Amino acid sequence: MARPIRRIALSTGGGDAPGLNAVIRAATLAARNRGWDVVGIRDGFTGLLTPEEYPDGGIIELTREHVRGIAHLGGTIIGTTNRGNPTAFPVEQPDGSWVEVDRTPELLEKFEQAGIDALITIGGDGSLTIANHLYEAGLRVIGVPKTIDNDLERTSTTFGFSTAVEFATECIDRLFSTATSHGRVIVVEVMGRYAGWIALHAGVAGNAHAILIPEIPFSLEPVAATIMERELRGAKFSIVVVAEGATPKGGSVSLLGKSVGQAERLGGIGEKVAAELQRLTGKEARTVVLGHLLRGGTPTSFDRLLGLRFGAAAVRALEADLDGVMVALDPPNVNFVPLNEITARQKKVPLDCDTMLTARDLAINFGDSVQY
């Protein structure tokens, strides 16, 4: 039997996703209803590691008042970062260079000093890898999966994804009228890292004519052929959705760069695709990059409810003495899976899944030469 819980901490890490505040609200209320204290660590673990940078000391009490009316808000009230990995914490040297330092022992000590008995950490694969590391180092940890990209294994979906798809679909809907009016090709670049979930779901829901995803290295000749066939049928416009991680056949992913302590930044493929389609078809092409707009706004009711369910389930897991697990959606239930089973690989779009089959039946082009 683990020691009784009196005080827990919540942290949010990596890119924000709509639904984070719903998790914070549910976890706070479920914990307080059990008589536990709840604190939030600012910006991942940075609030604990560099408290001097925060007027409030980097940790805030999360009371019922703090979490009132937040479930419908995008972002995270405790802040997040994708530069705060405690196992490779970026530290600037006197000569201006940066080195990455493992601050795990110090972080564990700070949890102890703050009287924190357990951590609920909400994040994507990077944050859940850190969560697993902290669990193996002796901290009591429950992980909550979050990402707009939907690329995490062992949970049927993550919160944030539904909101991102909803917004991307609305944007595609809006682009139809301007594309039609001008008879243009419009290329819409969406986030998703190395998985094509957002592009596929928004592209199919939004009736795109071509969708380029990382799971299928693309050629643009078949896409250009689709555009020209449409032209011959009198449809002088086309919409192409491209995932930021999509790669040309034999080529590499388009990168915006990488800064210290951060993952590679993907982006720029939309512009390249538009330029090449313009060259191949002779039609005017434009690019719209949805980027971080996909991470903002009010979570859909699906994401809000999932966030609330995950937050409450994380507290139930601690009460049941579970440790080193992630809450996961296994419809219709939420269950618990070992943290170390999640981070081993990314969840990609299976090419034989029903949404892919639907897209093929609708003759949506994927930049490959599948014929109908």
Q: Which residues of 311-347 are buried (b: 16+ CB within 10 A; e: fewer)?
A: bbbbbebbeeebbbbbbbbeeeebebbebbebbeeeb
Other CB atoms within a 10 A radius of the CB of residue 279 amount to 12
Backbone φ and ψ of 7, nearest 5°: -145, 130
Interacting residue with ligand F6P among 8, 9, 12, 15 (CB under 6 A): 15
Which position among 149, 321, 354, 368 bears the catalytic label?
149
Other CB atoms within a 10 A radius of the CB of residue 304 amount to 24
The reply on whether position 265 binds ligand F6P by CB under 6 A is yes
Query: Least distance to ligand F6P from the beta carbon of 149, Å?
Result: 5
Q: How close are the terminal C-alpha atoms of the chain, in Å?
A: 61
> Which of 212, 224, 304 is closest to 254 using CA atoms?
212
> Cα(43)–Cα(58) distance, rounded to whole angstroms?
8
The reply on whether position 124 binds ligand F6P by CB under 6 A is yes
The reply on whether position 192 binds ligand F6P by CB under 6 A is yes
> Residues touching ligand F6P: how many (CB under 6 A)?
13
The reply on whether position 270 binds ligand F6P by CB under 6 A is no
- For ligand F6P, give the closer residue by CB, 244 or 303: 244
Q: Which stretch binds ligand F6P (CB under 6 A): 69-77, 144-152, 228-236, 338-346?
A: 144-152
332 prior amide bond cis, ω within 30: yes
> Cα(264)–Cα(116) distance, rounded to whole angstroms?
33
* DSSP 8-state symbol, 146: B
Asked if 349 contacts 201 with a C-beta cutoff of 8 angstroms, the reply is no
The reply on whether position 314 binds ligand F6P by CB under 6 A is no
The contact pattern for ligand F6P, residues 75-104, with x = CB under 6 A and - = no contact, is -------x----------------------
Contact residues for 169 (Cβ-Cβ < 8 A; gap 6+): 201, 202, 205, 206
The reply on whether position 148 binds ligand F6P by CB under 6 A is yes
The reply on whether position 295 binds ligand F6P by CB under 6 A is yes
Tokens of 334: 């939420």
The contact pattern for ligand F6P, residues 217-246, with x = CB under 6 A and - = no contact, is ---------------------------x--
SS3 39: strand
| Positions 317 through 356 that interact with ligand F6P (CB under 6 A) | none
Interacting residue with ligand F6P among 42, 110, 133, 193 (CB under 6 A): 193
Other CB atoms within a 10 A radius of the CB of residue 93 amount to 8
The reply on whether position 165 binds ligand F6P by CB under 6 A is no
Active site residue 149: yes
- For ligand F6P, give the closer residue by CB, 213 or 227: 213
Active-site amino acid positions: 149
Binding site for ligand F6P (CB under 6 A): 15, 82, 124, 147-149, 191-193, 244, 265-266, 295
